Amino acid sequence: MNIKEAKEEIRHTLLAYNKKDAHGRYTFPRLRQRPVLLMGPPGIGKTAIMEQVAEECNVGLVAYTITHHTRQSAVGLPRIVTRCYNRKEVSITEYTLSEIIASVYDCIEHSGKKEGILFIDEINCVSETLAPTMLQFLQNKTFGSHSVPEGWLIAAAGNPPEYNKSVREFDIVTLDRVRRMDLEADLDVWMEYAWKKGIHGAILSYLGMKKEHFYSVENTAEGKFFVTARGWEDLSEILKAYEELGVEITENLIGEYLCRDEIARSFFASYQLYRKYGTDYGLDRLLDGTMPEDERGEREKMAREASFEERFLVTGLLLDGLNSSFLSYEKLDKETEVVYQELLHLKAFLSDKKEITALEEFIDVKKKSLAVRLEAELLTVEQQTQEELAIRMLEEYSLTLRKEHITDAEDGFERIRELFGEMTARRKKVAEQVKGELDRAFAFMKDCFGDGQETVLFVTGLTRNSHAGAFIREYGCEPYFACSEKLLYRKQEKKLQEECKTLLEI
């Protein structure tokens, strides 16, 4: 199972376990709510999918790496209490609330989300004293005498024995009470995620050529050698940060993230070429249409005569440049939509007002509402950014109205509509620019490579990119649809040829 399939399975499980009847009571028997156990190599994204599911399903998330905990923090501390049995008082040992269970209740209180995911990582690498507690947790959904609250899915993750010498095998009794999902690294699935997350273009181009270098883990007598999905993503962030600061990228830096010498050297060489080709080809000017025709012809000739690696890297540079444009448009589109929704609320708010000064009251209400939700940690960083932007736009509109001496509520809102029209016009202009870039990129690919493998890589990269998909769905792109249709036809033709070959062999 790949990480994408596991994510969908967890999401469906969460929905199934938390299904309620007409009276708001959970319908799935608690006894049959098996915890999800993800088993797979390190660094493939087990923790990341928990964060994604929690965000998409709007539920809480409490994540623990259990190897960092003692039995006391998991179960609670013992204390002596008095009980009365058969009319006789006796002293017994009772345990305080588990730190982990307490964190779940803290999450409920701070976020207001009564349902969520309790995720325990490295569950099969616990100490000998904590192992029985973890088995009890998986079997009974309790830490000590304290149960996980209703509405909370228990999920755990571990590494197979070949990746960690500290692994403890689960017995059949435990395995018969969990839903075990064995995960494998899958480059195609990761590439979809990578485009969405904006992973550095040099990495995407390199892995497009060197698929076998995506994931590798070895634990030998000579040492530990590994390259993981997590390593590529972290490397992407440091590359972008260093480039922005103008700091030199060295092979040693690459080796700190890709802990396999031959892969680190190979990627470093590819990265250097990627940066050089970006300058040599001037693809930013080609995309925005400012490159002169004679220079464009030279670049096309250079690409046609280039080596296999150079052609692939140039294709990656084009995809990376387009992705930056898709992201810019998407950001402006979201901002425009957020401001539009606020103006709908403002219109309703001003319906019984005569003076546009009521706009200040509206802005004040928005600021206080935002502050309360930030305090309660109810907003993601993206939501906070969007709401702050909407408030800034409202403040700019208010300032403009004051400068223009507009006091009437109806006249004021009409003027705000005109100002908002400038924002929608800007969005339309950016969309036209991006569409032009797409057309110029396809024209370059066709003139250089025709329907070759570089064009296949280019179209596949756009298809995997959710930002590109959203833009093309809204504004269309004839060259993309034409190339996609050809590729689909070729796939069907190849499949038929393979089937015919099989029949002939029989």
Confidence of residue 496 (pLDDT cuts 50, 70, 90): very low
Nearest to 154 by CA among 52, 24, 25, 61: 61
Q: What pLDDT shows up at residue 492?
A: 53
| SS3 assignment for 384-424 | HHHHHHHHHHHHHHHHHHHHCCCCEHHHHHHHHHHHHHHHH
Interhelix angle 201-209/261-281, nearest 10 degrees: 120
Q: What is the pLDDT of residues 400-431, one digit of tens each?
A: 999 999 999 999 999 999 999 999 999 999 99
Q: Where are the domains of the chain?
A: 3-70+108-184, 329-424
Q: Dihedral of the CA atoms 471, 441, 203, 251 (nearest 10)?
A: -140
Q: What pLDDT shows up at residue 267?
A: 94
Burial of residue 236 (CB within 10 Å: 0-12, 13-18, 19+) is buried
User: Phi and psi at residue 182, in whole multiples of 5°?
Assistant: -90, 120
Q: Lowest-confidence range among 75-79, 384-388, 434-438, 483-487?
A: 75-79
CA 191 to chain centre: 11
Nearest to 369 by CA among 357, 359, 379: 379
User: Phi and psi at residue 41, in whole multiples of 5°?
Assistant: -65, 160
Interhelix angle 293-304/308-349, nearest 10 degrees: 130
- DSSP class of residue 169 equals P
User: Are 210 and 481 contacting, i.e. CB atoms less than 8 angstroms apart?
Assistant: no
User: Are 454 and 448 contacting, i.e. CB atoms less than 8 angstroms apart?
Assistant: yes
Give the distance between the most distant pair of CA atoms in the chain: 101
Q: Lowest-confidence range among 173-182, 328-337, 362-371, 381-390?
A: 173-182
Report the first-to-last Cα separation within the chain, whole angstroms.
32
User: Are 35 and 148 contacting, i.e. CB atoms less than 8 angstroms apart?
Assistant: no
CA 470, 476, 478 angle in degrees (round to 5)?
Answer: 135
- DSSP class of residue 259 equals B
Q: Which residue has the higher pLDDT, 145 or 283?
A: 283
Reduced to 3 states, what is the DSSP secondary structure of residue 122?
coil
Q: Which residue has the higher pLDDT, 222 or 53?
A: 53
Whether 133 has a pLDDT exceeding 70, the answer reads yes
Reduced to 3 states, what is the DSSP secondary structure of residue 312?
helix
Quick one: average pLDDT of 244-251? 92
Q: What pLDDT shows up at residue 197?
A: 83
Nearest to 464 by CA among 328, 326, 357: 326
User: Phi and psi at residue 2, in whole multiples of 5°?
Assistant: -90, 175
The whole-angstrom separation of Cα 194 and Cα 201 is 10
- Ranges 55-64, 86-95, 253-262, most confident: 253-262
User: Phi and psi at residue 210, in whole multiples of 5°?
Assistant: -115, 65
CA 439 to chain centre: 28
Whether 179 has a pLDDT exceeding 60, the answer reads yes
The whole-angstrom separation of Cα 317 and Cα 302 is 15
Q: Which residue has the higher pLDDT, 332 or 173?
A: 332
Residue 84: strand pairing partners = 89
Q: Does an H or E element contain 203, and which? A: helix 201-209
CATH superfamily, domain at 3-70+108-184: P-loop containing nucleotide triphosphate hydrolases (3.40.50.300)
- DSSP class of residue 258 equals S
pTM of the model: 0.73
CA 417, 423, 424 angle in degrees (round to 5)?
Answer: 85
Quick one: average pLDDT of 446-464? 87
Q: What percent of the chain has pLDDT over 70?
A: 88
- Return the percent helix, strand and coil in the chain, to nearest 5: 65, 10, 20
The whole-angstrom separation of Cα 238 and Cα 101 is 36
The whole-angstrom separation of Cα 343 and Cα 417 is 8
Q: What percent of the chain has pLDDT over 90?
A: 33
Q: Which two tokens stand for residue 395?
A: 């403040």
Tokens 């990265």 identify what position? 271
Whether 493 has a pLDDT exceeding 60, the answer reads no
- What amino acid is encoded at 48 in this protein? A
Q: Dihedral of the CA atoms 229, 231, 237, 240 (nearest 10)?
A: -100
